[in-house]
């Protein structure tokens, strides 16, 4: 997909009503050509703190969350609005932002190509304060801007996935994704309660890649990707082959008698050895561990994981399954055979979706009352209200994830990596996993823990992730940053510079060629930072300059030479230092 335009028609965060951001300019718009002709190039959103750049990511996340909620075929009872029982529940006519226009280009699905004006659909989503959002297909002769798309057609013309990652605690960005996790949890639990078919993955497409998924991201990439695709991990981090890992699955959980009433009577495991304290157990992984369903050609996930494992054993007392993997070529081949994508592309995405669903079940302990509050919440402190389960009470967990690393002879555990290394694996790993999708990537300052060398390489490494991608897919990526290196690796049409004055956020493209521009020039032109040295060093330089100014006319050449020696002794090399010394030398030469 490719973003065209975002307009916010009411205040949202620091964005004023009427904020209008054009991504594709008129001469960039290639909607009549093949979308694959676009070279991958992320938009770089730069500017001072508080200038509104992260708010654009937050608005896009909130908009696509609202659109998905409108079009989901499954919505939990606790989620939907009810005047008496759930007054803060979801209403189609209420959103944040509550009035907006969003346009993007996306490849037309096969089912909808008949009668389409071209392979590229120009979609516009419009929401006014008193109604739900509507989607229009602007360049289709049968739809245009008068006839809204049906729910089924609209669902197919949304991005395959909306993916977000933040290196910090951006609660506004993560909030809609966090709510969606509970919808995904309820979707699965409801399939248990009604004993209906479950596809094995959530219906919704919003995914927030936080620490809960870090091990899953790495495992899927190391098991599926070729060495050429893993080159960024190998060159920059020295990560080699995966050695081993363990998966532990808790197959049943204890529930209360009240909760047991929601499930079919013969579905639960009942321990009535002591009638006065009858205990109920829910086989929570039943949909992943039942017999093969020939009607739906459904091969249960746990069956497939067993076939991939080097060994496995059951802890019957706690009803846990332990699967151990000593990774070699045969194990990798087993994963590729058992978790192939629908179109048989070599990708870890199918396995990641399995891991993601199982990891989401770790939220099972949340009460209905808390869940209802979360669905209707706009609080920035949602994460703090969610209890974290002890590891032995989780439905799924990884252990002993170990791999080769060039600077550690015996290999390392994933938990041994630094913050910057985890961040590197997250940001690049999600790109590799979702490279063959028409998706929107929202990365909020993904390089904050990187060293300068990694920061200077980030754009190159992101491009490397998509080098071997299927050309029929097109991805859009927005990155917020304070790092000049990302701007220096981008053309000016891909750089959006944010400023804020008197409460008004303004966005402009640079008035100079950013690609290959020096860090000094970018720091000056884009971040309005004239100095090339730190604040404390600048103070010391100012004090030395004042001493020179005070004695400019009275000091002897010897005293000035002594001052130059002191400057050289105290301060490292910089443009500011050279200019100050030159100024002093000029006064000496003039006598």
Which pLDDT does position 293 carry in this prediction? 45
State the Cα–Cα distance between residues 162 and 206, nearest whole angstrom.
5
What mean pLDDT comes out for the span 58-70?
95
State the Cα–Cα distance between residues 55 and 3, nearest whole angstrom.
16
Residue bearing tokens 């006065």: 276
335 within some domain: yes
Q: Find how far residue 74's CA is from the centre of its chain.
A: 24
The domain tally of the chain equals: 2
- Which of 78-87, 110-119, 292-301, 464-473 has the least mean pLDDT? 292-301
Torsion on CA atoms 504, 508, 514, 517, rounded to nearest 10: -40
Instruction: Compute the mean pLDDT over every residue in the chain, rounded to the nearest whole number.
Output: 87
289 within some domain: yes
State the Cα–Cα distance between residues 399 and 409, nearest whole angstrom.
20
Assigned token pair, 257: 């008698």
Which pLDDT does position 274 carry in this prediction? 80
What mean pLDDT comes out for the span 514-533?
84
3-state helix, strand, coil in the chain (%, to 5): 40, 20, 40
pLDDT value at 387 more than 80: no
pLDDT value at 371 more than 50: yes
3-state secondary structure of 274: coil
Task: Check residue 532 and report its DSSP letter.
Answer: S
Domain finish residue from 397, 424, 450: 397
Assigned token pair, 132: 């739900």
What mean pLDDT comes out for the span 388-402?
91
CB 467 within 8 Å of CB 489: no
Radius of gyration of the chain (CA): 28
546 within some domain: yes
Closest CA to 99 of 70, 136, 59: 59
Closest CA to 416 of 427, 404, 428: 404
CB 213 within 8 Å of CB 170: no
Closest CA to 246 of 132, 414, 127: 414
Band the pLDDT of 421: cuts 50, 70, 90.
confident
Which pLDDT does position 85 carry in this prediction? 82
- Which of 85-99, 377-391, 459-473 has the least mean pLDDT? 377-391
Contacts of the segment 491-497: beta carbons below 8 A, 24+ positions apart: 491/41, 491/515, 493/25, 493/28, 494/41, 494/42, 494/43, 494/44, 495/43, 495/44, 495/46, 495/526, 496/21, 496/43, 496/44, 496/45, 496/46, 496/53, 497/46, 497/47, 497/526
Assigned token pair, 515: 């690609």
Which pLDDT does position 295 carry in this prediction? 44
Domain finish residue from 339, 363, 397: 397
3-state secondary structure of 218: helix
- Which of 15-29, 178-192, 235-249, 446-460 has the least mean pLDDT? 15-29
Q: Find how far residue 312's CA is from the centre of its chain.
A: 33
State the Cα–Cα distance between residues 43 and 28, nearest whole angstrom.
13
Band the pLDDT of 67: cuts 50, 70, 90.
very high
pLDDT value at 531 more than 80: no
Assigned token pair, 76: 């939990």
pLDDT value at 382 more than 70: no
What mean pLDDT comes out for the span 479-505?
94
Which pLDDT does position 501 carry in this prediction? 92
Band the pLDDT of 411: cuts 50, 70, 90.
confident
Q: Which residues contact 160 (CB under 8 A, 6 or more apart)?
A: 205, 434, 437, 438, 439
pLDDT value at 546 more than 80: yes
Which pLDDT does position 573 carry in this prediction? 83
563 within some domain: yes
CB 120 within 8 Å of CB 105: yes
Residues 391 and 540 in one domain: no
pLDDT value at 363 more than 60: yes
Band the pLDDT of 283: cuts 50, 70, 90.
very high
Closest CA to 326 of 217, 415, 243, 394: 243
Band the pLDDT of 32: cuts 50, 70, 90.
very low
Which pLDDT does position 294 carry in this prediction? 42
Band the pLDDT of 298: cuts 50, 70, 90.
low
Which pLDDT does position 27 carry in this prediction? 44
Assigned token pair, 239: 């990560």
Q: Is the peptide bond before 97 cis (omega within 30 degrees of 0)?
A: yes
HSE-CB at 206 with a 13 A cutoff on CA atoms is 24
323 within some domain: yes
What mean pLDDT comes out for the span 266-271?
85
Domain finish residue from 373, 397, 421: 397
What mean pLDDT comes out for the span 189-200?
86
State the Cα–Cα distance between residues 74 and 77, nearest whole angstrom.
9
What mean pLDDT comes out for the span 133-162?
91
pLDDT value at 259 more than 90: no
pLDDT value at 537 more than 90: no
Give backbone dihedrals phi and psi of 231, rounded to 5 degrees, phi first. -55, -40
Domain that holds residue 579: 535-589
The pLDDT tens digits of the residues spanning 506-521 come to: 999 999 999 999 888 8
Band the pLDDT of 21: cuts 50, 70, 90.
very high
Residue bearing tokens 């209905």: 368
120 within some domain: no
Helix (H) or strand (E) holding 412: strand 408-413
CB 4 within 8 Å of CB 24: yes
Band the pLDDT of 38: cuts 50, 70, 90.
low
Range among 12-21, 184-193, 402-411, 551-560 with highest mean pLDDT value: 12-21
Closest CA to 282 of 304, 300, 246, 258: 258
Give backbone dihedrals phi and psi of 289, rounded to 5 degrees, phi first. -140, 25
Band the pLDDT of 344: cuts 50, 70, 90.
low
The pLDDT tens digits of the residues spanning 424-459 come to: 888 899 999 999 999 999 999 999 888 888 899 999
Range among 46-60, 108-122, 363-377 with highest mean pLDDT value: 46-60
The pLDDT tens digits of the residues spanning 105-121 come to: 998 888 888 876 667 89
pLDDT value at 535 more than 90: no
296 within some domain: yes
**Helices 419-433 & 452-465 angle (0-180, nearest 10):** 10
Handedness of CA 143, 149, 154, 156 (dihedral sign): negative
Helix (H) or strand (E) holding 189: helix 171-194
246 within some domain: yes
């Amino acid at each position: 997909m490719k973003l065209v335009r975002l307009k916010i028609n009411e205040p949202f965060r620091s964005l004023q009503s009427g904020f209008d951001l054009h991504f594709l300019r008129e001469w960039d718009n290639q909607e009549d050509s093949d979308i694959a002709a676009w070279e991958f190039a992320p938009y770089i959103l730069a500017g001072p703190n508080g200038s509104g750049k992260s708010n654009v990511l937050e608005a896009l996340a909130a908009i696509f969350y609202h659109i998905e909620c409108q079009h989901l075929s499954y919505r939990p009872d606790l989620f939907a609005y009810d005047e008496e029982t759930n007054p803060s529940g979801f209403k189609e006519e209420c959103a944040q932002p509550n009035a907006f226009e969003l346009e993007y280009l996306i490849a037309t699905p096969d089912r909808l190509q008949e009668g389409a004006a071209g392979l590229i659909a120009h979609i516009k989503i419009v929401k006014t304060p008193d109604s739900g959002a509507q989607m229009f297909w602007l360049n289709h002769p049968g739809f245009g801007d008068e006839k809204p798309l049906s729910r089924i057609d609209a669902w197919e013309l949304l991005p395959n996935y909306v993916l977000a990652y933040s290196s910090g605690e951006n609660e506004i960005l993560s909030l809609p994704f966090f709510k969606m996790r509970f919808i995904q949890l309820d979707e699965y639990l409801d399939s248990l309660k009604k004993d209906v078919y479950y596809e094995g993955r959530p219906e919704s497409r919003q995914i927030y890649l936080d620490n809960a998924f870090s091990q899953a991201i790495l495992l899927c990439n190391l098991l599926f990707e070729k060495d050429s695709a893993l080159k960024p991990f190998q060159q920059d981090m020295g990560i080699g082959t995966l050695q081993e890992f363990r998966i532990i699955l808790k197959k049943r959980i204890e529930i209360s008698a009240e909760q047991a009433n929601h499930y079919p009577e013969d579905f639960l495991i009942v321990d009535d050895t002591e009638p006065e304290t009858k205990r109920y157990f829910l086989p929570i992984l039943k949909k992943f561990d039942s017999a093969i369903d020939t009607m739906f050609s459904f091969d249960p996930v746990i069956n497939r994981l067993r076939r991939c494992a080097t060994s496995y054993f059951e802890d019957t007392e706690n009803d846990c399954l332990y699967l151990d993997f000593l990774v070699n070529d045969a194990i990798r081949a087993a994963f590729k055979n058992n978790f192939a994508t629908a179109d048989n592309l070599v990708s870890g995405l199918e396995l990641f979706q399995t891991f993601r669903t199982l990891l989401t079940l770790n939220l099972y302990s949340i009460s209905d009352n808390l869940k209802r509050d979360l669905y209707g919440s706009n609080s920035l402190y949602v994460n703090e209200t969610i209890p974290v389960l002890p590891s032995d009470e989780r439905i799924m967990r990884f252990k002993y994830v170990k791999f080769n690393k060039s600077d550690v002879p015996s290999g390392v555990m994933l938990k041994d990596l630094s913050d910057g290394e985890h961040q590197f694996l997250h940001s690049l790993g999600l790109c590799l996993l979702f490279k063959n999708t028409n998706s929107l990537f929202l990365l909020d300052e993904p390089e904050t823990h990187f060293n300068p060398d990694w920061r200077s390489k980030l754009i190159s490494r992101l491009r490397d992730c998509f080098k071997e991608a299927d050309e029929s897919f097109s991805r859009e990526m927005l990155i917020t940053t304070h790092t000049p290196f990302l701007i220096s690796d981008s053309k000016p049409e891909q750089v959006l510079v944010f400023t804020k004055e008197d409460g008004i956020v303004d966005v402009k493209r640079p008035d100079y060629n950013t690609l290959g521009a020096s860090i000094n020039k970018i720091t000056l032109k884009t971040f309005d930072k004239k100095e090339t040295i730190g604040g404390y060093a600048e103070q010391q330089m100012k004090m030395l300059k004042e001493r020179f100014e005070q004695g400019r006319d009275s000091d002897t050449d010897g005293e000035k030479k002594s001052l130059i020696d002191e400057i050289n002794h105290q301060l490292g090399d910089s443009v500011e230092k050279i200019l100050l010394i030159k100024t002093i030398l000029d006064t000496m030469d003039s006598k």
